[in-house]
Structure 1
């Protein structure tokens, strides 16, 4: 019998290798988990525009938590809920990105839009997530500190030189909690795997929080266990060892 009922997987740096592929070993163990009755979901910063093909590829008929919890799907083609950043916040975030010369992008209902394609019309759209990237570590830290003062937004990151912004109170953790409600289970029945700080709250809240070997050191410190890297089939080994193996979790 599996040790957990729900497996929540990050994609980039976790399920996906550095060249954005899924290894055969990872595929095999994800399928084994499904065959054992585990619900396998994504908990990713990606939107449906860049996730749907992976969902189809793995043939997962399960809920999904996308754009860091801002969008939740009950199953393929079954949208459940969305949480939008306020439009005045989008305009303010755009101003900060332009002021500092940061690259930026956003996930709206209609598209994934990058800086080069941004037009005035974009301010009339509803945005699930806004992101910024700056190669200067000091500049991105100054931006991060400024954004923390804005009470209506939630900020996190998936790399040291980026910032990911959602509506206040929205995270991968809140999304997975909603999926647990849908399935009639609790967070202690969840095993979550991730590699960066946008996974932090979920890793901390899950029954078993697994950090990737290539993950952020801060995430590794709060995770229950650390698996191998995304280039070493870390997800497959975590499933084998902790989800379907004889591992007996003891949480403080």
Structure 2
């Protein structure tokens, strides 16, 4: 027990993106990463997700790690105090969802949405879906120009936050709803400040959080822009980059 007390963590909260960060390309969490996450928890550090995923695809990972900490899902549109304890949901207006859906459909791009009830893709979309409340809507395309045009149109509305988790998609939520806003709320819940946070990510939807955190860590496999705005860089998601960052920056071990 003395060893636990002697080791002091520099940060009190680790905020982790999932895809391309915590998860390998095979969507696994390595044993080495699990070991360092547990080491952090044992030394009083909170470990949380800050992800574009919803509960439908993040719950299993939450359970796998046995975490009882808050979670920021859907790029901040859903915040949990802990397992089964919902703090907040931010819904897109239903008419906005209709309008976004129309743009994606008319242009022949694929799309999906996260509601309380489901993660629904374009193949499963029915008129009944417009009666549900959606927290995040996504549009995908293999043509960068098409995505850029759609993004420009959506941003002109002035009511939306538009980001991406991969070069082939865009993720749409209510303006001001971001991973940063979500982690700020978690900090308020825990009595922490953003300077207590070490955040890790690889994509555009991590940018604001990485800038606002006490330490923003870019994955070596991340987008060039993310690497340019982060404070430091760690190894790739396939090389235990998260574990290395915890060891080096949270516990200052070389």
TM norm. shorter chain > 0.5:
yes
- Spell out the pairing of 1:114-133 with structure 2 (5 A cutoff): 114-133=121-140
In 2, Cα distance between equivalents of 1:50 and 1:168: 24
CA displacement at 1:146 relative to structure 2:
1.2
User: Partner of 2:3 in structure 1?
Assistant: none
Say how many residue pairs are matched: 247
Q: What is the DSSP-based 3-state SS (H/G/I as helix, E as strand, rest coil) of the residue aligned with 1:231?
A: helix
- Are 1:70 and 2:108 an aligned pair? no
- Per-residue CA deviation, residues 191-245 of structure 1 (Å, 9 max, x unaligned), is 0000101000000000000000000100110000010000111001000100112
Give the alignment's TM-score, normalised by structure 2. 0.96
In 2, Cα distance between equivalents of 1:101 and 1:120: 17
In 1, Cα distance between equivalents of 2:132 and 2:221: 36
Candidates 118, 142, 145, aligned match of 1:135: 142
CA displacement at 1:246 relative to structure 2:
5.0
- Are 1:97 and 2:104 an aligned pair? yes
Candidates 49, 53, 61, aligned match of 2:56: 49
Once superposed, what is the RMSD of the aligned Cα atoms?
0.9
- Are 1:25 and 2:29 an aligned pair? no
User: Partner of 1:206 in structure 2?
Assistant: 213
CA displacement at 1:16 relative to structure 2:
0.4
- Spell out the pairing of 1:171-190 with structure 2 (5 A cutoff): 171-190=178-197
In 2, Cα distance between equivalents of 1:54 and 1:173: 21
In 2, Cα distance between equivalents of 1:192 and 1:233: 15
Candidates 227, 232, 236, aligned match of 2:239: 232
CA displacement at 1:139 relative to structure 2:
1.0
CA displacement at 1:151 relative to structure 2:
1.2
**Which stretches in structure 1 are left out of the alignment for 5+ residues?**
248-252
User: Partner of 1:10 in structure 2?
Assistant: 17
Of stretches 145-154 and 17-26 in structure 1, the one that deviates more from structure 2 is 145-154
